């Protein structure tokens, strides 16, 4: 007897289905499709992410064992690994990329006022990339080095959340700094970057767009000191200077820059930062760069808890479809956490959903049980996101 909706159906109700249909129509995803639609494909891949399925055969076996519940889960087509494989290879991955951006646009306002450790009202972004190694024999399109392949996930992470504001998936040969050409700078925001994005021409483009940047400087940068400000060396600061670049560097960045040196007593490392912002204090510049670690935490988290290292297909389209679907699921759970005011962290929510996906109980009841709130099931070494 059907006494209610499955937990999976309740999770998928948070999807803006009208926007999904617009994405499908934009790329003609369901053109001449008779039985297994783009929505069926997305739901199957979302199920695989939520329940940690490892292969197409795994997805097929699990969903066919629950054949009587598939219609109520929203899956109208017949699930088979061949049908799903063909869909992954042939349906344009841009459908799922565009839909993920819609979910991101919906999620970011929910986390816009979350604190992240730096007392600034401006939007703070961290830009970085992570590499996923692939077998070049199976993925010949993903060239990286001579003997193996890889894809890169370039991410601009909003540190209030954290929610990715921009993502680009490329082969491993694309340099990190090239992604700066794809960004649309947001005036007044801060962009925190490591040395891999050290390019004065591109940094000057950010400056001209009225955006702020903080980047770790390279040791071989030639410059001349113009002015020095006093610093409290007990805080770890070593200097706060206004500089001008060498003749070669000034051709690409003709204006003044600010140089801040900081000594981290915990790691015994010295850091040199460059920024175009002369308003915030020097310690805030160091704290902004320290907060960049959240993008590294984001990469480690999604690699541990989402299926983006073992793929269901070997084509470029299949790989990008799977990654974008994984990102959509990640953001969807982040939206649900905020909208339902859930106390468990994101890891705990995913673990609970993985074992209760076919249950017919209110999702709030499943995710807010007394045992979950009172007993810690989280390993101390486990990476946490959205831990309120």
The pLDDT tens digits of the residues spanning 106-118 come to 999 999 888 877 8
Inside any domain, residue 168: no
Q: Establish if 144 belongs to a structural domain.
A: no
Q: How far, in Å, CA of 204 to CA of 4, rounded? A: 57
How many domains are there within the chain? 1
d(C-alpha 203, C-alpha 197), whole Å: 9
In the block, residue with structure tokens 């061949």: 82
Q: Per-residue confidence at 146, pLDDT binned at 50, 70, 90?
A: confident
Element (H, E) at 155: strand 149-158
The answer on pLDDT for 371 being more than 70 is no
Using a pLDDT cut of 70, give the percent of the chain over it. 94
pLDDT tens digits, residue range 121-138?
889 999 999 999 999 899
Residues spanned by the domain of 22: 7-99+311-374
What DSSP letter does each residue of 215-263 carry, written as one string?
A: EEPPTT--EEEEEEE---GGGTEEEEEEEEE-HHHHHH--S-EEEEEEE
pTM: 0.89
- Determine, yes or no, domain membership for 257: no
Question: Residues 378, 384: contact at Cβ < 8 Å?
Answer: yes
Q: Is the pLDDT of residue 10 over 50?
A: yes
Residue 138, in any domain of the structure? no
pLDDT confidence of residue 343: 87
Confidence of residue 383 (pLDDT cuts 50, 70, 90): low
pLDDT, residue 369, reads 62
In a domain, 205, yes or no: no
pLDDT at 373 over 60: no
Whether cis (ω within 30° of 0) applies to the bond prior to 162 is: yes
Within a domain: 283: no
Instruction: Judge whether residue 3 has pLDDT over 60.
Output: no
For residue 370, pLDDT over 60 is answered with: no
Taking only the tens place, the pLDDT of each residue in 338-347 is 999 988 888 8
Average pLDDT over residues 344-363: 90
The least confident of 39-43, 72-76, 149-153, 237-241 is 72-76
Contact at 8 Å (CB) between 368 and 348?
A: no
Give a yes or no: residue 62 inside a domain. Answer: yes
Per-residue confidence (pLDDT) for residue 374, from 0 to 100: 46
Contacts of 210 (CB under 8 A, 6+ apart): 185, 187, 188
Give 308: exposed, middle or buried? Use CB within 10 Å, 0-12, 13-18, 19+. buried
In a domain, 294, yes or no: no
Model confidence at 388, in pLDDT bands (50, 70, 90)? very low
Q: What is the pLDDT of residue 249?
A: 87
Q: What are 168-216's pLDDT values in tens digits?
A: 999 999 999 999 999 999 999 999 999 999 999 999 999 999 999 999 9
| Length in residues, the chain | 388
């Amino acid at each position: 007897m059907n006494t209610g909706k499955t937990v999976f159906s309740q999770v998928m109700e948070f999807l803006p289905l009208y926007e999904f249909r617009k994405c499908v129509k934009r790329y003609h995803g369901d053109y001449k499709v008779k039985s297994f639609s783009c929505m069926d494909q997305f739901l199957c891949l979302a199920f695989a992410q939520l329940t940690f399925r490892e292969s197409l055969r795994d997805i097929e076996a699990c969903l066919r064992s629950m054949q009587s519940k598939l219609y109520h889960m929203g899956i109208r087509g017949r699930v088979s690994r061949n049908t799903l494989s063909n869909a992954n290879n042939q349906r344009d991955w841009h459908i799922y990329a565009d839909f993920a951006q819609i979910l991101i646009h919906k999620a970011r306002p929910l986390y816009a006022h979350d604190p992240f450790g730096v007392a600034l009202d401006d939007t703070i972004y961290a830009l970085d990339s992570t590499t996923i190694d692939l077998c070049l024999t199976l993925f010949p399109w993903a060239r990286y080095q001579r003997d193996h392949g890889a894809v890169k996930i370039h991410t601009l992470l909003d540190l209030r959340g954290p929610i990715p504001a921009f993502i680009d998936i490329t082969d491993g040969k694309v340099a990190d700094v090239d992604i700066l050409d794809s960004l649309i700078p947001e005036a007044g925001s801060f962009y925190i970057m490591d040395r891999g994005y050290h390019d004065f021409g591109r940094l000057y483009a950010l400056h001209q767009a009225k955006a702020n940047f903080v980047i770790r400087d390279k040791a071989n940068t030639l410059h001349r000191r113009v002015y020095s400000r006093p610093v409290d060396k007990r805080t770890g600061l070593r200097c706060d200077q206004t500089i001008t670049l060498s003749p070669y560097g000034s051709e690409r960045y003709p204006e003044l820059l600010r140089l801040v040196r900081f000594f981290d007593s915990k790691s015994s490392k010295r850091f040199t930062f460059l920024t175009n912002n002369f308003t915030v204090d020097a310690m805030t510049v160091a704290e902004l760069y320290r907060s960049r670690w959240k993008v590294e935490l984001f990469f480690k988290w999604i690699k541990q808890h989402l299926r983006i290292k073992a793929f269901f297909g070997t084509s470029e389209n299949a790989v990008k479809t799977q990654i974008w679907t994984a990102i959509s699921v990640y953001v969807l759970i982040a939206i649900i956490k905020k909208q339902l005011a859930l106390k468990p962290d994101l890891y705990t929510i995913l673990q609970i959903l993985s074992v209760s996906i076919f249950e017919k109980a209110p999702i709030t009841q499943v995710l807010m049980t007394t045992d979950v709130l009172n007993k810690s099931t989280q390993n101390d070494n486990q990476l946490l996101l959205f831990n309120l």
